[in-house]
């Protein structure tokens, strides 16, 4: 009996362990098929697909990510004068190179939001929060962030928020651990 | 209304290398595109549409990357089309772009193909384990090695043919400033002594993993005539063809795939080629492992089955031979997978435009570009010439 069920549980093994193994060695038949599969018996075999993806971020996105590490928000100025955050490498209208980097925020304004009443394991916060579009001061576009407002009643379009930086930053969007209402304590 | 004429009027490629750490994926694609535009003396505004090709998305782990590449290709608000036919994609992408002009839909089409292999592991991406199936191969070389072994047996080819191909292509690559590998000290013995990776394929008979992109500007007859009047020779597309066949059909001959032979027959018919060995001045074909040169010489009709290796051995396929093959150094010197097919097509066009620099074949007027992909199952070819079809 061939059952197209695969067990992905090992995919949650620590990355450090998995990287030591060649992908092809990760696969191994764990089922004894010589006995013949009886009724109700489900064959399973692990199928783990993992590649160590890397990113070369280039001069503009790279500057944004480096900025996060330094607690600075960086945008790029488009040819029509708008400041785009996170920065665009090329002008969205003309396609020309955008080379003028602009520091913005880091505080900004919520332009729209949605309340998450029951966060799941992969959400950035383990308590109810708002996904919000936040336009940093000096920017003309908004970016996604998690606002730790305590209760939905505290959320309002147009409210001011400020980022809370992660203690250990590595040039990743998660260097912004969360955003909090500015009324809750300014530059945390 | 019949098919409109179309020509290559601009060619650009990146410097290919193992890791292009200085540019993002978008920056890499753009570098090739800007060079093609400069060669065509055009700007983004002149382009009507773009066609983007690359091999499987999971090579970099970015799904449908063409969407975020629109800005980098100056394509906002313009038609942008994606092609994917595994390793042959660079060739089929150029063909799809050509068809947009042939159909009379657009006059100037930018086509770009790329791969940024440094962002992942194509070797293992091509070794997908299948549950309840023994893991039979590691990387493309493991898949193709039995095909090569079968060819050697059927053709009664001597062992050193693969080494000769690798030596020729790596030496040709020394003349190509964009090539990834520049191995100045390579020799017959150094190839022979290199590690046997997938018997009978040695390490030095294997393509590298490259970051790179290739771009072409295709123009209508009006656009190409204007370029010619300005002293910039177009490469007229005299025929294009694609064929594919299933990976695992039982009757399939992987040494001489029917799809490849039918693809060649179709493109020759369009170009009026009756004797490819005589009617074609040079060939740029997809040879990721050295032995594929004699195999494809036969599949594409340049030699009878079993005879391809004799052309290689006699030096016919050398840069100064009677039928030069892989003047650029080929896939054996440069392999940004998604771009590799387009690089073949581009080299063919450069030859008939007379712009191939140190790897130019004197007097080349008609050239064949060829790409294959998947498990020797996707084929794309074009014939380009100095003369209008």
Residues of B in contact with A27 (CB under 8 A): 129, 131, 135
Do A130 and A78 lie in one domain? The reply is: yes
Range of the domain at B84: 6-120+209-229
Per-residue pLDDT of chain B (389 residues; tens, 9 = 90+): 578 999 999 999 999 999 999 999 999 999 999 999 999 999 999 999 999 999 888 888 888 999 989 999 999 899 999 999 989 999 999 999 999 999 999 999 999 999 999 988 777 666 666 666 666 666 788 889 999 999 999 999 999 999 999 999 999 999 999 999 999 999 999 999 999 999 999 999 999 999 999 999 999 999 999 999 999 999 999 999 999 999 888 889 999 999 999 999 999 999 999 999 999 999 999 999 999 999 999 999 999 999 999 999 999 999 999 999 999 999 999 999 999 999 999 999 999 999 999 999 999 999 999 999 988 999 999 999 999 99
- CATH code, domain carrying B29: 3.40.47.10
Do A63 and A38 lie in one domain? The reply is: no
Residue found under tokens 């407002």: A149
| Phi, psi of A84, deg, nearest 5 | -105, 125
pLDDT at A24: 34
Do A29 and A74 lie in one domain? The reply is: no
Identity of the residue in A27, A33, A96 whose CB atom sits nearest the CB atom of B129: A27
Residue A93 has pLDDT above 90, yes or no: no
Q: Identify whether B147 is part of a domain.
A: no
B121–A26 CB contact, under 8 Å: no
Range of the domain at A103: 58-184
Q: Which residues of B touch A (CB under 8 A)?
A: 19-27, 30, 44, 58, 60-61, 71-76, 116, 118-121, 124-125, 127-129, 131-132, 135, 138
Do A168 and A144 lie in one domain? The reply is: yes
Q: Chain B within 8 Å of A17 (Cβ-Cβ)?
A: no
Rounded to the nearest angstrom, the minimum Cα separation between A3 and chain B is 10
Residues of B in contact with A90 (CB under 8 A): 26, 30, 71-72, 74
Q: Identify whether A53 is part of a domain.
A: no
Residue A22 has pLDDT above 50, yes or no: no
- ipTM of the complex model: 0.80
B74–A95 CB contact, under 8 Å: yes
pLDDT at A8: 35
Do A36 and A64 lie in one domain? The reply is: no
Cα gap B164→B298, rounded to integer Å: 17
Residue found under tokens 């440094």: B118
Q: Identify whether B163 is part of a domain.
A: no
Identity of the residue in B20, B44, B129 whose CB atom sits nearest the CB atom of A24: B129
Do A80 and A169 lie in one domain? The reply is: yes
Identity of the residue in B61, B72, B132 whose CB atom sits nearest the CB atom of A51: B61
Identity of the residue in B44, B119, B132 whose CB atom sits nearest the CB atom of A54: B119
Residue found under tokens 């018919």: B269
Give CA angle at B208 (B202, B210), nearest 5°.
Answer: 170
**Chain B contact probe: residue of A95, A97, A99, A141 with most B CBs at under 10 A:** A95
Residues of A in contact with B27 (CB under 8 A): 58-59, 89
User: Which pLDDT band holds residue A39 (cuts at 50, 70, 90)?
Assistant: low
Do A126 and A153 lie in one domain? The reply is: yes
- Residue B335: strand pairing partners: none
Q: Identify whether B66 is part of a domain.
A: yes
Q: Identify whether B29 is part of a domain.
A: yes
Residues of B in contact with A49 (CB under 8 A): 128-129
Nearest chain A residue to B135 by CA distance is A24
Q: Chain B within 8 Å of A43 (Cβ-Cβ)?
A: yes
Q: Identify whether A174 is part of a domain.
A: yes
Can you list the alpha helix ranges (DSSP code H) found in chain A? Answer: 15-19, 23-26, 58-69
pLDDT at B315: 98
User: Which pLDDT band holds residue A29 (cuts at 50, 70, 90)?
Assistant: very low
Q: Identify whether B96 is part of a domain.
A: yes
Do A62 and A39 lie in one domain? The reply is: no
Do A179 and A104 lie in one domain? The reply is: yes
Do A76 and A137 lie in one domain? The reply is: yes
Cα gap B203→B123, rounded to integer Å: 14
Cα gap A16→A10, rounded to integer Å: 13
Cα gap A147→A126, rounded to integer Å: 12
Rounded to the nearest angstrom, the minimum Cα separation between A9 and chain B is 15
The residues, ordered by sequence, that sit 6+ positions from B172 with a Cβ below 8 Å of its Cβ are: B319, B326, B327, B328, B329, B330, B333, B359
H or E element, residue A103: strand A101-104
CB A89 within 8 A of CB A112: no
Residues 54-73 (A) with a CB less than 8 A from some CB of B? 54-62
User: Which pLDDT band holds residue A33 (cuts at 50, 70, 90)?
Assistant: very low
Rounded to the nearest angstrom, the minimum Cα separation between B115 and chain A is 13
Nearest chain B residue to A52 by CA distance is B120
Q: Identify whether A1 is part of a domain.
A: no
The residues, ordered by sequence, that sit 6+ positions from A93 with a Cβ below 8 Å of its Cβ are: A78, A79, A80, B76
Residue A38 has pLDDT above 80, yes or no: no
**Chain A contact probe: residue of B57, B74, B125, B131 with most A CBs at under 10 A:** B131
pLDDT at B140: 85
CA distances, B211 to each of A100, A186, B93, B122 (Å): 27, 45, 18, 12
Nearest chain B residue to A61 by CA distance is B24
Rounded to the nearest angstrom, the minimum Cα separation between A118 and chain B is 29
Do A144 and A90 lie in one domain? The reply is: yes
Q: Chain B within 8 Å of A94 (Cβ-Cβ)?
A: yes
Residue found under tokens 């750490």: B21
Residue B17 per-residue DSSP state: B
Cα gap B99→B3, rounded to integer Å: 9
Number of domains in chain A: 2
CA B229 from chain centre, in angstroms, equals: 29
CB atoms near residue A77 (< 10 Å):
18
Number of domains in chain B: 1
Q: Identify whether A132 is part of a domain.
A: yes
Do A62 and A41 lie in one domain? The reply is: no
Q: Identify whether B105 is part of a domain.
A: yes
Rounded to the nearest angstrom, the minimum Cα separation between A184 and chain B is 37
The residues, ordered by sequence, that sit 6+ positions from B256 with a Cβ below 8 Å of its Cβ are: B295, B298, B299, B305
Q: Which of A19, A26, A41, A187 is nearest to A106 (CA)?
A: A187
B135–A52 CB contact, under 8 Å: no
Rounded to the nearest angstrom, the minimum Cα separation between A164 and chain B is 28
Q: Identify whether B127 is part of a domain.
A: no
Identity of the residue in A2, A24, A56 whose CB atom sits nearest the CB atom of B20: A56
Residues of B in contact with A63 (CB under 8 A): none
CB pairs under 8 A between A and B: 89
Nearest chain B residue to A54 by CA distance is B119
Q: Identify whether B56 is part of a domain.
A: yes
Residue A14 has pLDDT above 50, yes or no: no
Kindly list the strands in the beta sheet with A83-84, ordered across the sheet, starting from the edge strand earlier in the chain. Answer: A83-84, A73-77, A101-104
């Amino acid at each position: 009996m061939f059952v197209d069920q695969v067990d992905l549980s090992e995919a949650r093994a620590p990355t450090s362990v998995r990287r030591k193994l060649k992908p092809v060695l990760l696969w191994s038949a764990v089922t004894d098929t010589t006995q013949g599969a009886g009724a109700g018996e489900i064959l399973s075999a692990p199928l783990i697909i993992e590649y160590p993806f890397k990113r070369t971020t280039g001069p503009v996105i790279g500057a944004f990510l480096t900025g996060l590490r330094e607690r600075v928000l960086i945008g790029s100025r488009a040819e029509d004068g708008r400041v785009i955050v996170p920065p665009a490498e090329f002008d969205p209208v003309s396609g020309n190179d955008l080379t003028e980097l602009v520091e913005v925020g880091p505080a900004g304004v919520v332009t729209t939001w949605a309340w998450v009443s029951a966060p799941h394991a992969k959400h950035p916060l383990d308590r109810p929060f708002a996904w919000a579009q936040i336009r940093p001061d000096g920017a003309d576009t908004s970016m996604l962030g998690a606002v730790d407002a305590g209760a939905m009643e505290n959320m309002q379009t147009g409210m001011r928020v400020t980022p809370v930086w992660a203690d250990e930053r590595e040039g990743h969007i998660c260097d912004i651990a969360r955003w909090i209402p500015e009324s809750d304590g300014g530059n945390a | 209304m019949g098919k409109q004429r179309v020509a290559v009027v601009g060619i650009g490629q990146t410097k290919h290398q193992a890791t292009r750490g200085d540019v993002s994926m978008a920056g890499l694609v753009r570098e090739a595109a800007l060079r093609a535009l400069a060669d065509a003396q055009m700007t983004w505004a002149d382009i009507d549409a773009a066609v983007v090709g690359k091999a499987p998305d999971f090579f970099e782990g970015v799904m449908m990357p063409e969407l975020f590449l629109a800005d980098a290709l100056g394509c906002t608000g313009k038609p942008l089309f994606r092609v994917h036919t595994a390793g042959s994609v660079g060739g089929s992408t150029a063909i799809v772009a050509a068809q947009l002009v042939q159909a009379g839909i657009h006059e100037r089409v930018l086509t770009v193909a790329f791969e940024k292999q440094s962002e992942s592991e194509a070797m293992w991406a091509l070794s997908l384990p299948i549950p309840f199936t023994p893991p039979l191969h590691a990387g493309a070389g493991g898949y193709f090695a039995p095909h090569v072994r079968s060819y050697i047996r059927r053709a009664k080819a001597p062992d050193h043919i693969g080494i000769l191909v690798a030596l020729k292509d790596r030496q040709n690559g020394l003349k190509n400033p964009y090539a990834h590998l520049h191995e100045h000290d390579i020799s017959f013995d150094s190839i022979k002594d290199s590690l046997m990776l997938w018997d009978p394929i040695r390490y030095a008979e294997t393509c590298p993993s490259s970051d790179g992109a290739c771009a072409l500007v295709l123009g209508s007859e009006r656009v190409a005539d204007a370029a010619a009047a300005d002293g910039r020779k177009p490469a007229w597309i005299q025929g294009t063809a694609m064929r594919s066949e299933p990976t695992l059909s039982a009757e399939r001959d992987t040494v001489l795939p029917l799809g490849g032979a039918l693809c060649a027959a179709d493109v020759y018919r369009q170009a009026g080629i009756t004797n490819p060995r005589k009617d074609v001045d040079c060939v740029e074909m997809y040879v990721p492992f050295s032995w594929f040169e004699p195999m494809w010489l036969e599949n594409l009709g340049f030699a009878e089955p079993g005879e391809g290796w004799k052309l290689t051995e006699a030096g016919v396929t050398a840069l100064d031979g009677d039928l030069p093959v892989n003047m650029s150094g080929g896939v054996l010197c440069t392999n940004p997978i998604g771009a590799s097919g387009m690089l073949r097509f581009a080299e063919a066009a450069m030859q008939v435009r007379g712009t191939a620099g140190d790897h130019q074949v004197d007097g080349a007027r008609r050239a064949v570009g060829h790409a294959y992909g998947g498990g020797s199952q996707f084929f794309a070819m074009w014939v380009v010439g100095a003369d209008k079809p």
